[in-house]
Amino acid sequence: MITLSPIIYGIMKITTTILLAAFSTICLAQKKEKDSIAPVDLNEIIVISKKTPVHLKQPKSLATVEEYLQQSSKVTMVRRGGYALEPIINSMATERTVITIDGMRIFGACTDKMDPVTSYVEVSNLSEANIASGQQGSCHGPTIGGAIDLKRANLNQKELGWKGALKTGYETNNQHKILGTSIGYNDKSFYVNSDFTYRDAGNYKAGNHEEINFSQFTKYNLSATAGFYLGKKSLIEGSLIYDKATDVGYPALPMDVALAKATITSLRYSYTPVSSYFLNWETKVYYNTITHKMDDTKRPQVPIHMDMPGWSDTYGYYSKLKGKYENHHFMANLNSFYNKSIAEMTMYPSNPKENPMFMYTWPDVRTFYNGLYLEDRIQISSNADIKVAANIGIHSNKVADEFGLQSLQIFYPDMTASKNRILKSLSGNYILHQDKFEYGFGLAYGERAPSVSEGYGYYLYNSNDFYDYIGNPNLQNEKSFEANLSFGFKTESFTSNLTSSFFHIQDYIIGKIAPNIQPMTIGASGVKMYDAINYAVIFNTDLNLEYKIAQYWNLKTLLVYSYGKDDNRNNLPFISPLRYSGSLQFKKENFNLGFGASGNLTQAKFAAAYGETKTPDYVIFNFNSGYTFPWNGNKLNIQAGVENILDKYYTTFSDWNKIPRQGRNFFVNVSYVLF
């Protein structure tokens, strides 16, 4: 805390003042107001596949979850191949964000981040993705950058009877074949819903027909939900996602994946009380287990053959209560999870008589978290709202394996097996509507604990900067001071939105070169130990414009600027250069057409200090069209298009080892509603 700069004190002071002001307003605002209108939702929501009529579906309905998320101005993706892209929210990756499926915490089992949570779901499982920036996302757990909650699809209770659809798709670039079914039955007292998707893709080709070896994948995903109405007010629902990917290539990494398997289960109880104060009470218990097995047997040349399996099991629950009282809309979320993460590395010497070389790369780390989130949105006047939220959590880590603990004690001889932390978060937002304008302003403070890799990783090789990383159990909590601003202007034909968020992150966790320690991995440049720098600053701002040109024509543009520096004014890694996209869409009845362009400027502010190099600019063009027509008394929807029309050979700032992205790709998605 000695390193607190005066600016931080300033920000803290302001935060406290604003929050105090907000709370006092709550007290003052007890005078009767008109029953409030629906509170403003600050989050960005991407609709994926709500059970909407087929002709209202997205232009590429069988796109991957990652493709959907990339539509958000807050999200970019680190890409290590054709599969399992890692979402970055507000220029911050997995450690600084929380990604949940219907509020469930899930942790990937791969030490090399080859299996982000998003890789274990399918679009058909989901109805929408709720993207929250910064502390707005702290409802499901401590975060710095923000959160994505992937919402499961729910059948509409009103439409009784059977529902079913067949889906299939093909993409030419990587012979990506998609096959899926969706079957559901809806009764007055219960419902059952199931989805199955199979994807199989070969190697993709970058621009100029360059084949990218080891970029293939095969994925099966099965999802089932069953719910029973217990009277009119309550519902009990069980759900299951079983996801299995095999033979997944990671061309940007030295290893592939033989198996990535997740079983995600939950039991939810939802109660809608009669009381006018409480709107809904939902409680869920969940369990998920992930097995991840890396594989290098298909690579032509490896310095040493190795096995790197990982396992991650999470048990958890949450209990969420929503209510309203006069001009208050409040929510409380009591939640907890217990995660067990183990990863091993076994290397096989060329001399078969020699013992294999074994180590725990994640030494059976148990993470136990208990948190309480409270939120209140107050309508302080007919055109102004305040939202205040606080989160407090008790976070503990324990290295359960003695072998693993002793391994880490090589680096930290005084380290103990357990470490407890308290994580706090506080945020306040003010939203003002005036005629066609909307203004928003918010301040927030949040903390996060180091991830398993940051705290307890053991010789984790990063093939992007060529360093072996060692965790640091003595890391402080990372603390974020955040300010955000938004400005909106809306008329019937024109919508504009400008949002900005600024993060001053204290004790920013990053790998620091340990010059006296030699790497373990053959060919690595050295060892980095996770450590904290005094602070880092990250700033993101985006401008969304939507213009209704004519009755059926819509023009959309997006412009995003990001900035990230450490305390020595070095650029941070994985900060996007100026990125932009634009699309022109035509939509009339059962027909739609779209033409789009997207690109990045040159990444001139690359993080040289962290091993990044310059990435050139690019722009690609896409085209899509869709039509829904009756067929055999049912509806058939066909969507087709071309991505990267000009077959541009390009790579972006977030492509691991500058692996090129997909070249020209023709796709066709077909869905047929059976009943």
Partner 1 sequence: MKNFKFLSVLILAITFFSCSSDHDAAPEPPVDETSGLVKIKELSNDTHIIELYSETGILTQGYNQISLRIKDKAANTFVTNASLNWTPIMNMSEMQHSCPRSSIEKISGKQTLYGGDIIFQMAQNDTAAWELQINYTINDIKYSAKSDIAVTASQKRTINSFTGNDGVRYILAYISPKTPKVALNNMTVALYKMQDMMTFAAVDNFKVKIDPRMPSMGNHSSPNNTDLLQSSLGGTYNGKLSLTMTGYWKINLQLLNASGEVLKGEDFTTENLQSSLFFEVEF
Q: Which residues bind partner 1 (CB under 8 A)?
A: 303-304, 345, 347, 349-351, 354-359, 403, 406-407, 409-411, 413, 459, 514, 516-523, 527
**Look-up: residue for tokens 């299951």?**
240
Classify 149 as helix, strand or coil. Answer: strand
Q: Which of 216, 211, 198 is nearest to 81 (CA)?
A: 216
Classify 39 as helix, strand or coil. Answer: coil
Cβ-based nearer residue to partner 1, 471 or 577: 471
**Look-up: residue for tokens 């999802």?**
223
Q: How far is the CB of 652 from partner 1 (least distance, A)?
A: 32
Q: How far is the CB of 522 from partner 1 (least distance, A)?
A: 4
**Look-up: residue for tokens 């300010």?**
483
| Extended strands (E) in 256-304 | 256-271, 278-295
Q: How far is the CB of 467 from partner 1 (least distance, A)?
A: 13
Cβ-based nearer residue to partner 1, 404 or 660: 404
Token pair of 601, please? 């400027």
Cβ-based nearer residue to partner 1, 89 or 345: 345
Q: How far is the CB of 275 from partner 1 (least distance, A)?
A: 59
CB atoms within 10 A of CB 61: 20
Q: How far is the CB of 400 from partner 1 (least distance, A)?
A: 16
Q: How far is the CB of 405 from partner 1 (least distance, A)?
A: 9
Cβ-based nearer residue to partner 1, 459 or 656: 459
Helical residues (DSSP H) of 420-520, grouped into ranges: 452-456
CB atoms within 10 A of CB 319: 15
The angle at the Cα of 640, spanning 635 to 645, to the nearest 5 degrees, equals 170
Question: What's the CA gap between 405 and 516, in Å, rounded?
Answer: 22
Cβ-based nearer residue to partner 1, 189 or 351: 351
Q: Which of 323, 321, 247 is nearest to 284 (CA)?
A: 321
Calculate the CA dihedral of residues 117, 120, 125, 128 and round it to 10 degrees: 20
Cβ-based nearer residue to partner 1, 94 or 521: 521
Q: How far is the CB of 279 from partner 1 (least distance, A)?
A: 54
Q: How far is the CB of 355 from partner 1 (least distance, A)?
A: 5
Cβ-based nearer residue to partner 1, 228 or 411: 411
Q: How far is the CB of 402 from partner 1 (least distance, A)?
A: 9
Contact 428, 22 (CB under 8 A): yes
Question: What's the CA gap between 250 and 238, in Å, rounded?
Answer: 34
Q: Which of 442, 430, 443, 428 is nearest to 383 (CA)?
A: 430
**Look-up: residue for tokens 């999470």?**
314
Q: What is the 3-state secondary structure (H, E, C) of 340-379?
A: EEEEEEEEECCCCCCCCEEEEEEEEEEEEEEEEEEEEEEE
Cβ-based nearer residue to partner 1, 361 or 397: 361
The angle at the Cα of 576, spanning 573 to 581, to the nearest 5 degrees, equals 165
Q: How far is the CB of 358 from partner 1 (least distance, A)?
A: 4
Cβ-based nearer residue to partner 1, 294 or 514: 514
Classify 233 as helix, strand or coil. Answer: coil
Cβ-based nearer residue to partner 1, 56 or 522: 522
